[in-house]
A and B are shown apart, each in its own frame.
Chain A
Amino acid sequence: MTIGHHAMIDQWYPVALASQLPPEGRTTQLMGTAIRVLPGDPVRVVTGDGRDLRVTLRYGHVWTSLGEPSKDLFDIPEADQPGRRLVEVGVVRVRCSPLRAVENFLDIAHFPFVHTDILGAEPHTEVGKYDVEIREKEDEVWATKVQFYQPQAAKSATGGITTDYMYRVPAPTSTVLYKTCPARPGEWDVITLFVQPLTEELCDVWPWMALFDDETALTDLIHFQQMIFLQDRSILENQIPRLLPLDPGREIPTRADLTSVAYRRWLKRHQFTYGAQLVAQ
């Protein structure tokens, strides 16, 4: 196993929805290791050889680690803000690198082409200039001042609006999107993608949301987000190479890919390479 794999072993990963654990538990994998998530108080996660892993419950999910995380799971302060609806979307299995799933989520330029007439529409395909930084204190990737025209930015939106976005990557396979809240100007809706790496080329994706939206039925919110992600899945499962290249190689990143480039640089700096291709082929 490489050094990079060790660096990612010490991270937290989602492995189940806490509210939907069956009595017999959930049998799954984490980075190629068979694990079982067992309901109870406390919830336990055990490996096939009987080792108890560290567990934390947050954002509706059971999180665990194969190693020894040096810090607590990242904070999303909006999760505790009164008045928000916390939406557990469920799980989508995707045959792609867990890092690819995150990188795709960060890519705004694909909206008009993949989520046509929902999150984007031609001819509004241009991504304006925005700011990207690796915040040293938090050790996170942030993209701010992102603006994009969207025909239907959220389930609660009734027409096209220019949507403001912020993207945040607080962990190698978790990302948080903050976007204009149609129902409450001045606040941000929070949409996250928590990715469970099953193997380097297979992952379970657990979207989760914290929204100000008292009107839309829960099932509609879930279906909207699932529809968006299923559109992404068909793209993700056909990307070549399957692993996320850290050397650009044949891919030619452009200025519109600034967030993706920052994400890959941050992965490279920390040697977070489980699911990455190190040398261009």
Chain B
Amino acid sequence: MPTARERLTIRGNLGADSFLPWVARHAARLGLDGEIRHADAERVDIDVRGPADLIDAMEMGCLLGPIDVWVDAIERSSDPEWR
């Protein structure tokens, strides 16, 4: 399966301390490589690398997220800076 690299920009009410560890755990569970590039209470940017279907699954998982976080939307882009 071809490997893709994408940036997920997550927007919402993301201030809970649980969120970033949760993101890291979920990416690891999916076997994705990645890094959190930016994080504040309203926006988190994650760069991920792996099979496209699993990046889709990362997006689906983050849309739900942990119970104390509300995700409004996730934008996906290929980030030129990251390549």
Contact = CB atoms under 8 A, between A and B. Distances in A.
A binds B: yes
Most interface-central of B26, B29, B64, B65 (chain A CB within 10 A): B64
Task: Say what secondary structure dominates the interface of chain B.
Answer: helix
Given A253-B64, A268-B64, 8 more contacts: A247-B65, A248-B64, A250-B29, A252-B61, A254-B53, A254-B56, A264-B64, A279-B67
A257 B56 CA distance: 11
Interface string A244-281: 00111010111101100100110011000000001100
A6 to B, nearest CB: 16
Contacts of A250: 29
Contacts of B56: 254-255
A265 B60 contact: no
A253 B67 CA distance: 16
A258 B67 CA distance: 18
A250 to B, nearest CB: 8
B41 interface: no
B5 to A, nearest CB: 18
Contacts of A269: 70
Contact of B63 (A252, A261, A278, A279): A261
Contact of B29 (A252, A255, A278): A252
B60 A261 contact: yes
Give 7 nearest A-B pairs by CB, closest first.
Answer: A253-B60, A278-B67, A255-B56, A248-B61, A254-B57, A248-B64, A247-B66
B30 interface: yes
Taking residues whose C-beta sits less than 8 angstroms from the other chain, chain B's interface range is 10 to 19
Contacts of A265: 63-64, 71
Contacts of B64: 246-248, 253, 261, 264-265, 268
Contacts of B65: 247
Interface of A: 246-248, 250, 252-255, 257-258, 261, 264-265, 268-269, 278-279
Most interface-central of A252, A269, A278 (chain B CB within 10 A): A252
Nearest to A277: B67
Contact of A279 (B53, B60, B66, B70): B66
A265 B61 CA distance: 11
Contact of A268 (B22, B30, B61, B67): B67
Contacts of B71: 265
A76 to B, nearest CB: 28
Interface string B62-81: 01111100110000000000
B56 to A, nearest CB: 5
B70 A258 contact: no
Contacts of A247: 22, 64-67
A248 B64 CA distance: 7
